């Protein structure tokens, strides 16, 4: 049986080495070049911006808009649904899948980080890391300056308050805030009056 590539290890959630693997280095360089081009385009060049994201992302379900600057590691691990909106300064470290449902709104300065590193300094210093997928459901609003960590799922119709650090799964239909992010209440019919 052939030994797994570093990319295959990453896809399986195993420790892998992204720092010295030629394939992953080349894929990141390609992605960074597209992100650079995207971020340099004039705001009126909507078609060109859309074409670059379509070239980069693994799956696009419908209309989307991503305010520059935007950065990601590989691009092909990102899947978005229809009516996807991201405000300025979003970073997606997509060493594993990052999947967004329909009607997702993301505030400025947000980060989605699938990559993590061993607590053991020797393995960390050797360049090893792991990647766990992130999933964001449909009809989710994520406030500004939110960080979503590896392996987290956020349920449909959830609202994540600004400045939150999401370290664990968040269920559907709730407002969650804080560091670490915690559910503070369910979203109710009373919220339709605001």
Low-confidence ranges of the chain (pLDDT < 70): 1
- Whole-Å CA distances, 49 to 65, 97, 100: 9, 22, 19
Residue-wise pLDDT tens digits, 118-132: 999 999 999 899 999
In this prediction, residue 1 carries a pLDDT of: 65
Label residue 156 exposed, middle or buried (CB < 10 Å: 0-12, 13-18, 19+). middle
In this prediction, residue 104 carries a pLDDT of: 98
Residue-wise pLDDT tens digits, 139-165: 999 999 999 999 999 999 999 999 999
What pTM does this model have? 0.95
- Whole-Å CA distances, 97 to 11, 131, 141: 8, 9, 20
Of 18, 173, 187, 185, nearest in space to 96 by CA: 18
Distance between CA 72 and CA 46 in Å, rounded? Answer: 19
Domain ranges of the chain: 6-193
Q: Characterise 33 by phi-psi region: left (phi > 0), alpha (psi -120 to 50), beta (else).
A: alpha
Furthest-apart CA pair in the chain: how many Å? 61
Reduced to 3 states, what is the DSSP secondary structure of residue 124? helix
Tell me, yes or no, if 117 is annotated catalytic.
Answer: yes
In this prediction, residue 59 carries a pLDDT of: 98
Reduced to 3 states, what is the DSSP secondary structure of residue 45? coil
Structure tokens at 51: 């074409």
> Cβ distance 171 to 155 under 8 Å?
yes
Q: At the fourth CATH level, which superfamily is domain 6-193? A: Hexapeptide repeat proteins (2.160.10.10)
For the stretch 122-125, contacts whose Cβ atoms lie closer than 8 Å and that sit 24 or more positions apart, written own/partner, are 123/15
Of 4, 14, 2, 3, nearest in space to 128 by CA: 14
Which position among 28, 32, 117, 135 bears the catalytic label?
Answer: 117
């Amino acid at each position: 049986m052939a030994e797994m590539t570093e990319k295959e290890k990453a896809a399986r959630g195993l420790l892998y080495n992204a720092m010295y693997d030629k394939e992953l280095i080349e894929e990141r360089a390609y992605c960074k070049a597209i992100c650079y081009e995207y971020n340099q385009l004039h705001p009126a060049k909507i078609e060109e911006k859309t074409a670059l994201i379509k070239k980069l992302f693994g799956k696009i379900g419908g209309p989307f808009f991503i305010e520059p600057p935007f950065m990601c590691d590989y691009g092909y691990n990102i899947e978005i649904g229809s009516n996807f909106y991201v405000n300025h300064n979003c970073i997606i470290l997509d060493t594993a899948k990052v999947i967004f449902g329909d009607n997702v709104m993301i505030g400025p300065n947000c980060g989605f980080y699938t990559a993590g590193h061993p607590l053991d300094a020797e393995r960390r210093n050797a360049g090893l890391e792991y990647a766990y997928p992130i999933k964001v459901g449909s009809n989710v609003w994520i406030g500004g300056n939110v960080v979503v960590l590896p392996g987290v799922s956020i349920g449909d119709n959830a609202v994540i308050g600004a400045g939150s650090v999401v370290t664990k799964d968040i269920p559907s239909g709730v407002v969650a805030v804080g560091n670490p992010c915690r559910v503070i209440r369910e979203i109710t019919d009373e919220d339709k009056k605001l």
